[in-house]
Amino acid sequence: MSEQQLPPQHQERQPGREGEMEPKPQYIRDDYRGSDKLRGRAAIVTGGDSGIGRAVAVHFAREGADVLIAYLEEDDDAQATRALVEQEGVRCEQFRGDLGDPGTAEAVVERAVATFGRLDIVVNNAAEQHAVQELADITPEHWERVFRTNIHAYFYLTRAAAPKLGQGASIINTTSVNAYKGNGHLIAYASTKGAIVAFTRSIALSMIDRGVRVNGVAPGPVWTPLIPATFPAEAVKSFGSQVPMQRPAQPAEIAPSYVFLASEDASYMTGQVLHPNGGSVVNG
């Protein structure tokens, strides 16, 4: 998809709604063939209603995993994702709530285990961002809210899930190219994404003895509801043009990284970050 294929658009609320986007994001390629890489496993995917989360949920399902999608409030998007997951012949559960609350994170884990009888994969993915022109535009409420969503929730869910995870389990955290390059208009967001990298590396070391692998994915620009919900319409029109490939990714181009990290194909990887970012070199 080139920048000419992104009509100017803006959504006035966060989280954004995938159903209101034009064109609609591609969540899985028509020719993607599952090969039972995750058969018999159960996963939690946060932010699973749309964007990268939806794509990951559907890819996991095509690889045989049961999936619980956790989301904040986008019921229509969540229902659409659930239907897509169930079309793959696996079970799907949905959980609505704010994972920035420790009790909600604990309830998500208990629901997943009660529904599927096990928990093997945790994808911490839900995020929010708010563009600013300068540092003074960031209020304490803005700063605290972004950290609550983007890193505190990762900690709460990981802490709740850890006792349920055994040998061969996988935790995958969504960070961002902004963690490595910085972003003068997304200061709070980029800061949380840097924290996620350190969190990933640290939790990986703490869980090696238990046989649980912890890795991350650092996407570049991706066409998700977060984009029209963050930027003005004219900025959306050229979104992604700054990377060497000169276009944003589709979620379908990002999700296979999560499949790899969740599967036995990545059995010798922990504490690492994959970089599907359109050609940016980040040295990290």
pLDDT, one tens digit per residue, over 143-180 is 999 999 999 999 999 999 999 999 999 999 999 999 99
Question: Quick one: pLDDT at residue 39?
Answer: 98
Is 169 inside a domain boundary?
yes
Is 11 inside a domain boundary?
no
Is 12 inside a domain boundary?
no
Question: Quick one: pLDDT at residue 38?
Answer: 98
23 neighbors 2 (Cβ within 8 angstroms): no
- Regarding beta strands 121-124 and 170-174, do their DSSP bridges make them parallel or antiparallel, or are they unpaired? parallel
Is 232 inside a domain boundary?
no
Mind telling me the catalytic residues?
Answer: 189
Is 139 inside a domain boundary?
yes
Question: Quick one: pLDDT at residue 2?
Answer: 42
Low-confidence ranges of the chain (pLDDT < 70): 1-5, 284
Is 283 inside a domain boundary?
no
The total domain count for the chain is 1
Is 136 inside a domain boundary?
yes
pLDDT, one tens digit per residue, over 186-229 is 999 999 999 999 999 999 999 999 999 999 999 999 988 778 77
The whole-model pTM stands at 0.93
Is 235 inside a domain boundary?
no
Residue ranges making up the domain that contains 118: 19-24+37-220+250-274
CATH assignment at residue 144: 3.40.50.720
User: What SS3 string covers the chain?
Assistant: CCHHHCCCCCCCCCCCCHHHCCCCCCCCCCCCCCCCCCCCCEEEEECCCCHHHHHHHHHHHHCCCEEEEEECCCHHHHHHHHHHHHCCCCCEEEEECCCCCHHHHHHHHHHHHHHHCCCCEEEECCCCCCCCCCHHHCCHHHHHHHHHHHHHHHHHHHHHHHHHCCCCCEEEEECCCHHHHCCCCCHHHHHHHHHHHHHHHHHHHHHHHHCCEEEEECCCCECCCHHHHHCCHHHHHCCCCCCCCCCCECHHHHHHHHHHHHCHHHCCCCCCEECCCCCCCCCC
Question: Quick one: pLDDT at residue 284?
Answer: 60
Question: Quick one: pLDDT at residue 80?
Answer: 96
CA distance 128 to 105: 17
Question: Quick one: pLDDT at residue 5?
Answer: 58
